[in-house]
Amino acid sequence: MNANLYALFASRFPQDRTACCIETHDGLFYSWNDLDRATAKIANLLASLNLPKDSRIAVQVEKSPEALILYLATIRAGYVYLPLNTAYRAAEIEYFIDDAEPAVVVCSPQNFGWVSKIAFKAGTQHVFTLGDDRQGSLLVRAALQSNSFDTVERRPDELAAILYTSGTTGRSKGAMLTHDNLASNAKVLHDYWRWQPGDVLLHALPLFHVHGLFVASHGALLNGSKMIFLPKFDATEVMRHLPRSTVFMGVPTYYVRLLAEPAFDKNACANMRLFVSGSAPLLTDTFNEFIARTGHTILERYGMSETTMLVSNPYDGKRVGGTVGLPLPGVSVRVVKGDGAPCAADEIGDIQVKGPNIFKGYWRMPEKTAEEFTSDGYFKTGDVGKFDANGYLSIVGRSKDLIISGGYNVYPKEIESFIDEMDGVTESAVVGVPHHDFGEAVTAVIVTRPGAAVSEGDVIGYLKSRIANFKVPKRVFFLQDLPRNTMGKVQKNVLREQFKDA
Ligand code: MCA
Ligand code: AMP
């Protein structure tokens, strides 16, 4: 049997292929026939390029139905999809392209100048453009191709996607996900969250991370369900479409922003079946306020780029606020102490996981991959948590130095290395402090050289021209010295406490 993930989706398309598969915010309708034919055209285009096996197709484009179609076409043609955040700037894109050596790069038309320069320098042969308005050379070239394509045979353990996830030492690592990693997780979630006939997914997440690209889209595709596609999250737009939707997925910031809308109430959610939250901790206050306002209990779940989804609150059973729920069927989750011994209920330790959804390793980093697995094959998540007596997992912290802002990961080490390059800066420490909207806000604390005149505005301006906007500190503070422990290590917990009300 062909284990290509696209073949699985195709086997679940609804009988009526003229039914709507994707509806856009501005009133366009794509049927399942359209999806089949459009993925075939792009798959034929990719096949015509005679790319080597396992070629990476790197994509940095705005969200659109065609962006999802490009993902599916890549999988269908047997290549490896490599999505990139649209906020990334030249230095970030250059790193990913140099590291992944994609055979094809697809970028937004307005970025063609600088992206193609980076790609051609790195040896990429083909650079196409794709806009969010159905423009660009990719579609022009694909239009000339046949609209039928035999989905390429793939084994379960062959690569389907690489997702870059930043490293604690600053270097991003490409998590290699196989067809079976994605297919097994999609099937489990489809059953666990009880997707049903008539479901409609309101899709407001970006298409370059696990949450929007896999968890949300795969559920609808496996269910043969319509997706209403929003170009980005916007609370007013979400509310406009909720009455015709049944399933919504988002990061906690989405729920905070929805609750800030006075008209968001039981009535607004009357047609809804399921709200899912993940990618960052959902505050218990948000969880409780959501129940009070809408009568719906948000289902919180937990996963990673390396693992896709691991743990979820139940659909039918009790959804407990402040917890991420129970291990998904087929996924083994344990909490261990420093010496590897299992923790008792309510005892805090490191979270380790095993299952068919766990990635194949980091792209071209075998030593790093080996370091992140235990001798008995468990992946070390870098998250710290505890099980309660009922088997519900809570995440209480992270052993990795990571900030999650509005669902995006920011690695302090990367930001510190940019700040430390600035004239007049001696050293810096970047921490996350509580933020009502983004959950955590990136905050920089800097020590300057004597006599140097570096201002908050200078630092923010310098960083904005170099790195993705969401990584730029919201505030910058200056100290004479950074607090250190007896080993000389910067005490970030002290800084987090000192600037928590910033
Ligand atoms: C935008 N900005 C941000 C963020 N997003 N700053 C910090 N954190 C962010 N997440 C910047 C903008 O560039 C802008 O900067 C300023 O903040 C205000 O922008 P705003 O209009 O409020 O932002 P927005 O366009 O509304 O975006 C906020 C957002 C978005 C809707 C929350 O960030 C988002 O969609 N996040 C979802 C991320 C996601 O999909 N995560 C899943 C990862 P300036 O003022 O300087 O111009 S997958 C994952 O983690 C795993 C595996 C899992 O478990 O799911
Ligand atoms: P990423 O590198 O984007 O895959 O982010 C994965 C990380 O997001 C995990 O290791 C967790 O730290 C965090 N995460 C995801 N879901 C949740 C959640 N529901 N609660 C708390 N943290 C979460």
For 170-215, write each residue's pLDDT tens digit: 679 999 999 999 999 999 999 999 999 999 999 999 999 999 999 9
The ligand whose atoms approach the alpha carbon of 472 most closely is: 1
Q: Is the CB of 432 under 6 A from ligand 1?
A: no
Please give the domain boundaries of the chain with CATH numbers for all domains: 1-19+32-154 (3.40.50.980), 403-498 (3.30.300.30)
Nearest residue to 249 (alpha-carbon basis) of 206, 284, 285: 206
The ligand whose atoms approach the alpha carbon of 432 most closely is: 1
The ligand whose atoms approach the alpha carbon of 300 most closely is: 2
Q: What is the pLDDT of residues 1-49, one digit of tens each?
A: 899 999 999 999 999 999 999 999 999 999 999 999 999 999 999 999 9
CA distance 123 to 103: 8
Model confidence band, residue 400 (pLDDT cutoffs 50, 70, 90): confident
Question: Best of 164, 165, 189, 211 to mutate for ligand 1, by most ligand atoms within 8 A of CB?
Answer: 211
Question: Best of 404, 470, 474, 476 to mutate for ligand 1, by most ligand atoms within 8 A of CB?
Answer: 470
Q: Is the CB of 210 under 6 A from ligand 1?
A: yes
Q: Is the CB of 381 under 6 A from ligand 2?
A: yes
Q: Is the CB of 296 under 6 A from ligand 2?
A: no
Q: Quick one: which atom of ligand 2 is closest to the CA of 300?
A: 19
Nearest residue to 150 (alpha-carbon basis) of 54, 67, 220, 47: 47
Q: Is the CB of 205 under 6 A from ligand 1?
A: yes
pLDDT of res. 56: 98
Q: HEC states along 211-261?
A: HHHHHHHHHHHHHCCEEEECCCCCHHHHHHHHHHCCEEEECHHHHHHHHCC
The ligand whose atoms approach the alpha carbon of 286 most closely is: 2
The one-letter amino acid code at 173 reads: K
Q: Is pLDDT at 157 greater than 70 in this prediction?
A: yes
The ligand whose atoms approach the alpha carbon of 299 most closely is: 2
Averaged pLDDT of the chain? 97
pLDDT of res. 167: 60
- DSSP run (H or E) holding 23: strand 20-24
Q: Is the CB of 300 under 6 A from ligand 2?
A: yes
Question: 166 CA to middle of ligand 2, Å?
Answer: 13
CA distance 408 to 383: 16
- With H, G, I as helix, E, B as strand and everything else as coil, classify residue 300: strand
Q: Is the CB of 279 under 6 A from ligand 1?
A: yes
Q: Is the CB of 152 under 6 A from ligand 2?
A: no
The alpha carbon of residue 208 and the mean position of all alpha carbons in its chain are separated, in whole angstroms, by 6
Least confident of 169-173, 298-302, 342-346, 465-469: 169-173
Q: Is the CB of 280 under 6 A from ligand 2?
A: yes
**Token output for 364:** 């071209």
Q: What is the pLDDT of residues 38-88, one digit of tens each?
A: 999 999 999 999 999 999 999 999 999 999 999 999 999 999 999 999 999
Q: Quick one: which atom of ligand 1 is closest to the CA of 305?
A: 52
Pairing type for strands 299-304 and 308-312 reads antiparallel
Could you tell me the pTM of the whole model?
A: 0.97
Mean pLDDT over 249-253 rounds to 98
Q: What is the pLDDT of residues 414-445, one digit of tens each?
A: 999 999 999 999 999 999 999 999 999 999 99
Question: 234 CA to middle of ligand 2, Å?
Answer: 22
Question: 210 CA to middle of ligand 1, Å?
Answer: 15
Quickly tell me which residue has 């080996």 as its tokens: 370
Residue nearest to atom 45 of ligand 1 (CA): 469
Residue nearest to atom 22 of ligand 2 (CA): 280
Residue nearest to atom 18 of ligand 1 (CA): 470
Q: Is pLDDT at 258 greater than 80 in this prediction?
A: yes
Q: Is pLDDT at 306 greater than 70 in this prediction?
A: yes
CA distance 385 to 407: 19
pLDDT of res. 391: 98
Q: Is pLDDT at 168 greater than 70 in this prediction?
A: no
Q: HEC states along 85-143?
A: CCCCCHHHHHHHHHHHCCCEEEECHHHHHHHHHHHHHCCCCEEEECCCCCCCHHHHHHH
Question: 230 CA to middle of ligand 2, Å?
Answer: 23
Residue nearest to atom 23 of ligand 2 (CA): 280
Residue nearest to atom 5 of ligand 2 (CA): 304
Q: Quick one: which atom of ligand 1 is closest to the CA of 469?
A: 13
Neighbours of 133 (CB within 10 A): 11
Q: What is the pLDDT of residues 91-126, one digit of tens each?
A: 999 999 999 999 999 999 999 999 999 999 999 999
Q: Is pLDDT at 162 greater than 90 in this prediction?
A: yes
Q: Quick one: which atom of ligand 1 is closest to the CA of 254?
A: 32
